[in-house]
Structure 1
Amino acid sequence: MPNYLAPDVYVEEVPGGPRPIEAVGTSTAAFIGAAPDGNALAQSIRAVTNWSEFQRMYAAQGQAGTDLSQAVYGFFQNGGQRCYVVNTGAARDLPAALTMVAQRDDVAIVAAPGFTDAADYDALLSHCEALGDRVAILDAAHDVPDVMALTQVARPAPAARAGADAPDRASPGDLHGLRPRQSDDGYGAVYFPWLRVRDPANPSSLVDVPPSGHMAGIWARTDATRGVHKAPANEAVRGALDLTYHLTRAEQEQLNSHGVNCVRFFSTEGVRVWGARTVADSASEFRYLNVRRLFNMIKESIAQSTRWIVFEPNDETLWKSIRRDVSAFLLRLWRDGALMGRTPQEAFFVKCDRETNPPEVINAGQVVTLIGVAPVKPAEFIVFRLSQMEQRSDTDGRGE
C-alpha cells in the first residue's frame, strides 16, 4: 500500500474488470519432408507465409517438385495462411524433425506428406498425443492394392533374417494392413485417396500428390470462414482435377466406419472432402475431427490466458475471477455456435469453489476448476423418411 503523508488528492491506477480469454490460433501447420532443393535450410525449421516465399527458400534453382512442395502449394491454394517447413533432405529423419516442430507452440496441424508406413504414422500420432495441442493429418498409401486393406491397422514388416540387410522403411506391400493405428483421443485424421493436380513447377503436366497439404489448407479455410467447431468436410478441394481412385458409396461405408476420411469426385461438384472423423474408436467422444480440434483450442486458450493466476492468493476472490473469465470465454463460443444448447446453462458449466478446492487441495498449492462443455457435432448421416399418404380432398371430408 502507498504511504499518504501530505494532505492532497491522490489518483492511482488499479486493475479492475475481467481478464478476457482470447482464442488461440488453430490453422498454423507444420510440414515435414524433402524439399526440391535438398540442401536448402536442411534439418532446420522455418516459417513460410506464401508459396513464392517457399520457392525462394527451398526451390530457387527450379528443381522438380516433391511431396513436400506439392503439399505446401496445396495448403496455400486452399486457404492456408502460415506454416512451418522442415526440410529433411535425403535423410527423412521424421523423429528429429518432430523434435523441432515440438518447439513451436503455435502449431495446430502436423503433416509429413507421403510418409505412409506404420512407423511414420506412429511417430506423428505419438507427437500429437504427447503435446495435446495439435492434430496430425495422415496420408493413406498411394498405390493401394486392395481398398479394404485400409480397414486394417498397418504393422511394420517382419525383421530381416540374421545376416540379411534390413529394409530402411516398410513398403505398403510389406504390411498386413494400411490404416494408421488408433489414437484413443483422436489426435489424427487419415485421408484417401491421393489427388491428381497440375504440377506448379510444370503446369503442363499432371501429378499425383498426397492429400495432407490440401486438407490442411481446407482446415484453415474452414476455421476462418466458419470456426474450428465446423467439421472441415463437404468442402471443395481447390486445384484437384481428379483422384487416383474413385470410391464407390459401398466402399466408403466400410472405410468411414474405420475412421478413414474419403475424398470423393462428384460429377456436378467436382472433388470434395467427404469425411470428418479421427482415427479414434467409433465409440469415442473424440471420433469427430471438429470436436477434437475445438477441445484443443479451448484447452490452449484457457491455459495461455490464465497464467496471471499463478501465485495469486487461493481464496474466494480468485475462484470468483476464474469463474467469471472462463464463463465469459465459453459464452462467446456458445454465441458463435461452437457449443450445443438453447441456453448457456445447457451449453457449459464452470465450477470453482470450496467443493473443488477443499483444504487439502489448497494446502497442496493447487486451485482446481471443473469445466464442462457440450460441443456441436456434425450432421454426418442425413435421413429423410418418405412415405405415401392418402389423397385428400380440398374439403377434407366435409360437405360443401
Structure 2
Amino acid sequence: MPTYFSPGIYVEEVPSGARPIGPAGTSTAAFVGVAPDPTAHVGQALAINSWSEFLRLYADGEHLASTPLARAVFGFLDNGGTRCWVVNVGAGGQLTGAGGRRSGLQLLEAVDEVSILAAPGYHDPVSHEALISMAERLRTMVAICDPPPDVDDVSTLTRVATPGSARPSGKPADGTPKPADGTPKPDDDGPAAYRPRQSDFATFYFPWIKVRDPLTGELVLTPPSGHVAGIWARTDALRGVHKAPANEPVRGAVDLACRVTRPEHDVLNPKGVNVIRYFAGEGIRLWGARTLAAEASEWRYLNVRRLSIAIEQAIANGTRWMVFEPNDYTLWRSIRRDIGAFLTRVWRDGALLGRTPEEAFFVKCDEETNPADVRDAGMVVAHIGIAVVKPAEFVVFKLSQWAGGTETDTIGG
C-alpha cells in the first residue's frame, strides 16, 4: 500500500490481471531458390515487402534473367501476399547444406513468423523431403510442394516417390533449379512416381501454370507454389485462416500446363493432390484444399491444419508470461480465463463449430490435470479441445418430381 501524507483523493492504476491472447500471423511465406542475380545475398534470409524491394535486392540491371524464385515471389505478391522471406541459394546451391554452417532452408529456422514454406522449381523427391521434414520438425508452418513440369500421366502423381529414387537436385548452366533426372522412379524398371510422402504439414498442387514473366515479359510455365501461397495469404486476410483456400482465382495465370479432366480429378483428389483447374466463364481456380495426410486423418483438410497451427502459436505466445509463476490455483484460473477468452473470439469469427462456446471448445486446467507429480516436475498442464469447421467439399442435391413442377433442395455437404 502506498503512503499518503495529506487528506485528499488519490487515484491508483491497478492491473486487471487479464492478459489477452492475440492472434498469430498466418500469411508470411518463405521461398528458397535461385535469384535472378545468383550472387546476391547468398546465405542470407531477407524479408521482402514489395516487388520493387525484391528487384533491388536480387535483380540488378545486369541480371534480369528470370527464375522460378522470381516468378514465385511476384505471384505471391500479385495474389494477395504482403510479406515473405527469401533465401538465395546461388548457382548450384542446394536446399540443405552440409557441415556446421547454416544454408538454404536452415536459415529460416530462426525466423519465427514464417507459416508458409516453398522452394519454387525444386520438385524432386529429395527436395520434397527437405521441405516436409522442416515443416514437421518446426510444426509452425505448412510446406507447398511443386510437381514436375512435364507430367503426361496423372497416375504418376498418386504414387509416392522416395528420396532414394533420385539424386540430389541438379542445376543447369543458368542456375535454374531442375530435378535430378526429370523422371524420379521408385526403381529402375518400375513406374514413374512423383507424389511426396504422406504428411500432415505439406500440400501438393498440380499442374504448372502459364504466366507472363515479370522480368522478361514472355509467357512461360512456372511452378504454382508462389501463386498458391499468395492465395493462402489473400484468403486469410479476407475470410480468415479457418476458410479453406480453394475456389479462388489464380491471378496472373493465363493458362495451365495441362487441363485436368473430371475423371482425372476423381483420381487425384482422394490422394491429396490439389488440382488447379480451368472453368469456362470463371477462369483458372484452385480446386482443392487438402494436405498430404491420410484419407482418414483428421488433418486431411488444409484449413484445419493451418487453423490448429495458428491457435497453438497464439496460445504459446500469449501464455509465455506464465513461465516461472507459482503453480497453484491462481495460475490455473488465469490459464482457463485467458485461453477461454481467446477461443471465444475464435468461435465468434466462425472458425469453430458449435451454437455456443461450450459446444465449440473446452479448457481444463485444475488439480486433475496438474497432480503433485506434474507440479514437482515443474510443469503446468492444460487440456484444450476445439471443434473445427471443415469445408464442404461435396455438395449433394436431391431432385424430385411432384405435380406442381420440379423441386431441388440441398441435403448435405
Same fold (TM over 0.5): yes
CA deviations over 1:76-119 (Å, ceiling 9, x no partner): 00000000000011133212311101110000000000111111
In the alignment, is the contact (CA less than 8 A) between 2:354 and 2:387 conserved in 1? yes
The residue number in structure 1 matching 2:232 is: 219
Distance 1:111 1:167 in 2: 15
**Map 1:355-370 → 2, pairs under 5 A:** 355-370=368-383
1:57 corresponds to 2:67:
no
Partner of 1:202: 216
Deviation at 1:6, TM superposition (A): 6.2
The answer to whether the 8 A contact 1:157-1:174 is kept is: no
Q: How far does the alpha carbon of each residue in 1:300-335 deviate from its partner, in whole angstroms, 9 at most, with x for none?
A: 000011111111111111111110100000000100
Q: In structure 2, what is the equivalent of residue 128 of structure 1?
A: 135
Indicate the residue corresponding to 1:395 in structure 2.
Answer: none
Secondary structure of residue in 2 paired with 1:202? coil
Identify the residue that residue 82 of structure 2 maps to in structure 1: 81
Give the Cα–Cα distance (whole angstroms) in 1 for the partners of residues 25 and 381 of structure 2.
Answer: 26
1:358-393 CA deviation, whole Å, 9 max, x = no partner? Answer: 11111111111000000110010111011222459x
Q: Which moved more, 1:86-95 or 1:321-330?
A: 86-95
- Give 5+ residue unaligned stretches, structure 2: 97-102, 171-178, 186-191, 406-413
Task: Give CA deviations for 1:134-159 in whole Å, capped at 9, x if unaligned.
Answer: 00011111101311100000124658
2:194 to 168, 173, 178: 178
* Residue identity matched to 1:106: E
Report the AA paired with residue 58 of structure 2: Y
Instruction: Give the alignment partner of residue 146 of structure 2, picking from 139, 142, 147.
Output: 139
- How many angstroms does 1:18 deviate by? 1.4
Per-residue CA deviation, residues 42-74 of structure 1 (Å, 9 max, x unaligned), is: 121100001111011111124211000000000
Equivalent residue, structure 2, for 1:278: 291
Deviating above 6 A after TM superposition, structure 1's stretches of 4 or more consecutive aligned residues are 5-10
Cα distance in 1 for partners of 2:24, 2:133 equals 22
> CA separation of 1:158/1:191 partners in 2, compared to 1, >3 Å: closer, same or farther?
closer
User: 1:170 Cα shift?
Assistant: 3.3
Larger Rg, first or second structure (1 or 2): 1
Matched, 1:27 2:27: yes
- Number of aligned positions between the proteins: 383
Specify the code of the residue in structure 1 equivalent to 2:304: V
Aligned partners of 1:229 and 1:376 also within 8 Å? yes
- Name 2:400's counterpart in structure 1: 387
3-state DSSP of counterpart to 1:125: helix
Q: Aligned-pair RMSD on alpha carbons?
A: 1.8
- Tell me the SS of whatever aligns to 1:122: helix
Paired residue secondary structure (2:183): helix
Match of 1:312 among 304, 325, 346: 325
Q: What's the CA shift string for 1:252-289, capped at 9, x where partnerless?
A: 11000000000001111000000000000011000000
CA separation of 1:388/1:349 partners in 2, compared to 1, >3 Å: closer, same or farther?
Answer: same
Q: Are 2:110 and 1:100 equivalent residues in the alignment?
A: no
- Cα distance in 2 for partners of 1:52, 1:207 equals 21
Cα distance in 1, alignment partners of residues 397 and 132 from structure 2 = 37
Q: What is residue 163 of structure 1 aligned with on the other side?
A: none
8 A Cα contact 1:144 1:172, kept in partner: no
Residues 125 and 187 of structure 1 are in contact (CA less than 8 Å); yes or no, is this contact kept in structure 2? yes
Name whichever of 287-296 and 54-63 sits farther off.
54-63
Deviation at 1:13, TM superposition (A): 3.8
CA distance in 1, matches of 2:243, 2:166: 43
Counterpart selection for 1:235 from 248, 266, 280: 248
1:12 CA drift (Å): 4.5
Structure 1, unpaired ranges of 5+: 161-165, 393-400
The answer (yes or no) to whether the contact 1:34–1:66 under 8 Å persists in 2 is yes
Q: Secondary structure at the match of 1:384?
A: strand
Deviations along 1:146-196, one digit per CA (max 9) or x if unpaired, are 111000001246589xxxxx985633423231000001xx10111000000
Matches of 1:79 and 1:159 in 2, distance apart? 35
Q: Residues of 1 paired with 2:230 and 2:165: CA distance?
A: 36
TM-score between the two structures when normalised by the length of structure 1: 0.92
Q: Which residue of 2 aligns with 1:396?
A: none
